[in-house]
Structure 1
Amino acid sequence: MGSSKQLVENMFKAGGITMNGNNPWDPQVHNPKLYDRLLGGGSLGFGEAYMEGWWDCEALDEFFFRVQYYRVDKMLPRDFNTLKYYLKAKYLNQQTKARSKEVVRRHYDIGNDHYELVLDKYMQYSCAYWDNAETLDEAQEAKLDMVCRKLKLEPGMKMLDLGCGWGGLSQFAAERYGVSVVGVTISEEQAAYAREKCKGLPVEIRVHDYRELHDEFDRVACVAMTEHIGYRNYRTLMEVVNRNLKDDGIFLLHTIGGNYSTKITDPWIDKYIFPNGMLPSAAQLTTASQGLFILEDWHNFGVQYDRTCMEWLKNFEQTWDQRTDEQYDETFHRMWRYYLSASAASFRSRKNHLWQIVYTKPKHLGEYKSIR
């Protein structure tokens, strides 16, 4: 059968990757126990080994691109950790109201100062739109404007910003389009930041679970929240929007999506980045919206998320020395480099996508003209 080193080397060769090779995407191994750890611990063990400095790679994003494009990740053994995450996801609702706050505690509330150094001026932690933009600020502003134009916002309307994050869309829509906005988040830190950014604007930021929402809106935007709610709750999300949206309203859903319907995520991502999260498939979303909405427009610009992630990574590396809190140690540094590089590669390889989907209700009359 061969040694673990031979097995790993042969596996990566399928993606044009040579362990300790000369290409910038070739991993450089510092601890020979890495091979056993990869075979025994799968993607979780491999990611943790990187965080601990067992291996390095000059072009980590290119390494991940080759792993994903050539499906090398599918050759990884189904280890105990993968089985554990699968069973947990299959038989438990990981996104109950109580569990949903875990990702807030472990990812979003690690410090607004950290995100200010990585993101744009509107604090957009979702895909930018680069068609006519040169900088991250310009690309995120273009994304926000496209969302507003797709929603066909008009002065005096009332809009729901579902999963509002740090309030960038709420601020932009109120300032540029003259609408009043209710932003909903479950993060106290994000809410405090959003209230400060939106001070003086007709924007109300609420802290509660989306399932508790009972109101009436002309427009609903849900940007980068669906990835956190879990496959058991896709239908619930659609029902919540349906009951809060006027009959002539418009609903825009902005989400990362995957090529296959799944009930799990990568174990390393689940443990260190987005606990209890998962990416919906097109089939899961269309099934969830069936009978509630008319699907008016489906826009895929996921390849632009590659550039967005690489811009975040550049900002992260360039501002690393500005972080003084003790939580920002070298393990955190390597963890975020690993996460952003792998994320960029997932869009570059077309494994993942970014979808903006526009829905109307069955009583909405007339033609919806798509916006790009």
Structure 2
Amino acid sequence: MLGKRLVYSCGYWAEADKLDDAQAAKLDLVCRKLLLKPGQRVLDIGCGWGEALKYAAEHYGVSGVGITVSEQQAEFARELCKGLPIEIRLQDYHDVDETFDAVYSIGMFEHVGGKNYRAYFETVRRCLKEGGLSLLHCIGSNGTPAQPDPWIEKYIFPNSMIPAASQVAQALEGLFVVEDWHNFGTDYDRTLTAWRANFDTAWPELSQRYDERFRRMWHYYLAASAAVFRSRRDQLWQLVLSPNGVPGGLRVPR
């Protein structure tokens, strides 16, 4: 479903026509926004299956640490990144206590929860060198959500929460300068539509392991999510943050 890169987050379709190209463009956009250079060391909070770190190491010459709380993802990411200067840890982000040239997270903040937003940014600030940059890639809402969607909460993402801009701004206040706040939420419509097409194409094989109820549930999840972004109720944000402001300002790539 996710394409050749196991990236379970929004692709960047500005110049892409295919899902795999959009995901590669998103990973490259993250690296360019962080101004990554050979020899730097980066931290990926919630590294998933390791594709972002692999891309950064192969294309920008960095080393890195990826942390996750999933044993299965950690095992897969270690195998994927074998031979590269990357360490994958089974670790809670609160427990990281070392500094990096860049810190980022892609599609992880939606699982932090409102009461933990401040602690998240405090951790990032502690782990980021004074001249470093941080990038936050996450879904955002036009209004402060009272409760997560009950259906999504039950069947897809238990304990998830989509932040409002006001919540994010308050949580990072006094810790970072917001160098850039980029919204390309409509690209999630295209990403989810591509995932749904891949899912439908693969269904003859998947049907050997999953029943019709699952097919209907998953199809509904992908279609409803695409509609949420198409309606512009939810957004996809990338924030670029610096501890004290980049001298002279930062012209952030697009």
C-alpha separation in 2, matches of 1:186 and 1:174:
22
* 8 Å Cα contact 1:195/1:204 also seen in 2: yes
The counterpart of 2:102, out of the listed 198, 212, 219, is 219
Whole-Å separation in 2 of the counterparts to 1:348 and 1:258: 13
Determine whether 1:322 maps to 2:183: no
Contact 2:117/2:171 (<8 A) preserved: yes
Once the two structures are aligned, what percentage of the paired residues are identical?
54
Distance across 2 between alignment mates of 1:292 and 1:183: 23
In our comparison, the structure showing a higher alpha carbon Rg is 1
Measure, in 2, the Cα distance between the counterparts of 1:277 and 1:244: 24
Flag the structure with higher helix content: 1
CA contact (8 A) 1:128 1:143 kept: yes
Q: Write the mapping of 1:125-164 to structure 2, written as runs, cut at 5 A.
A: 125-164=8-47
Question: Is residue 357 of structure 1 aligned with residue 239 of structure 2?
Answer: yes
The answer to whether the 8 Å contact 2:140/2:237 transfers is yes
Alpha-carbon distance in 1 for matches of 2:226, 2:78: 31
Please give the alpha-carbon distance, in whole angstroms, between the structure 1 residues aligned to 2:128 and 2:107.
19
TM-superposed CA distance for 1:262, in Å, is 2.1
Match of 2:177 in 1: 294
1:365 is displaced (CA, Å) by 3.2
Residues of 1 paired with 2:180 and 2:56: CA distance? 21
TM-score (norm 2): 0.97
CA distances 1:196-249 after superposition (whole Å, capped 9, x unpaired)? 111100111011111111111000111100101111111111001011101111
CA displacement, residues 319-348 of structure 1 (integer Å, 9 cap, x when unaligned) = 01222664x222211111010001000000
1:102 is aligned to none
SS at match of 2:116: helix
Amino acid in the other structure paired with 1:345: A
Measured in 1, the distance between the counterparts of 2:74 and 2:3 equals 18
> In the alignment, is residue 238 of structure 1 matched against residue 121 of structure 2?
yes
Query: Which stretches in structure 1 are left out of the alignment for 5+ residues?
Result: 1-117
User: Which SS does the other structure have where 1:319 is aligned?
Assistant: helix
One-letter amino acid of the structure 2 residue matched with residue 279 of structure 1: I
Tell whether 2:193 aligns with 1:339.
no
Letter in 1 for 2:180: D
Give the residue type in structure 2 aligned to 1:236. Answer: A
1: CA distance between counterparts of 2:65 and 2:29? 19
Structure 1-normalised TM-score? 0.67
1:75 — aligned with what? none
Distance 1:363 1:356, change over 3 A: closer
Are 1:251 and 2:148 an aligned pair? no
CA-atom RMSD in angstroms: 1.1
- Alpha-carbon distance in 2 for matches of 1:325, 1:229: 35
Q: Is 1:120 equivalent to 2:3 in the alignment?
A: yes
Determine the C-alpha separation between the residues in 1 that align with 2:245 and 2:188. Answer: 34
Deviations 1:40-86 (A, max 9, x none): xxxxxxxxxxxxxxxxxxxxxxxxxxxxxxxxxxxxxxxxxxxxxxx
AA partner of residue 13 (structure 2):
W
Q: Which has the higher contact order (CA 8 A, sep 6+)?
A: 2
For residues 248-300 of structure 1, give each alpha carbon's deviation from its aligned partner in whole angstroms, at most 9, with x where no partner exists: 11000000000011241110100000001010011000000000000000100
1 CA distance for matches of 2:59 and 2:88? Answer: 18
The alpha-carbon deviation at position 154 of structure 1 amounts to: 0.3
Report the count of equivalent residues.
254
C-alpha separation between the residues in 1 aligned to 2:18 and 2:12? 10
Alignment of 1:259-274 (within 5 A): 259-274=142-157
What CA distance in whole angstroms lies between the structure 1 residues aligned with 2:214 and 2:117? 32
Q: SS state of the match for residue 21, structure 2?
A: helix
Measured in 2, the distance between the counterparts of 1:225 and 1:208 equals 14
3-state SS, counterpart of residue 87 of structure 2: strand
Partner amino acid for 1:234? Y
What secondary structure does 1:357 align onto? strand
The one-character-per-residue Cα deviations of 1:145-165 (angstroms, maximum 9, x if unpaired) are: 000000000000000011110
Call closer, same or farther: CA 1:367–1:284 in 2, change over 3 Å.
Answer: same
Alignment partner for residue 200 of structure 1, among 67, 83, 91?
A: 83
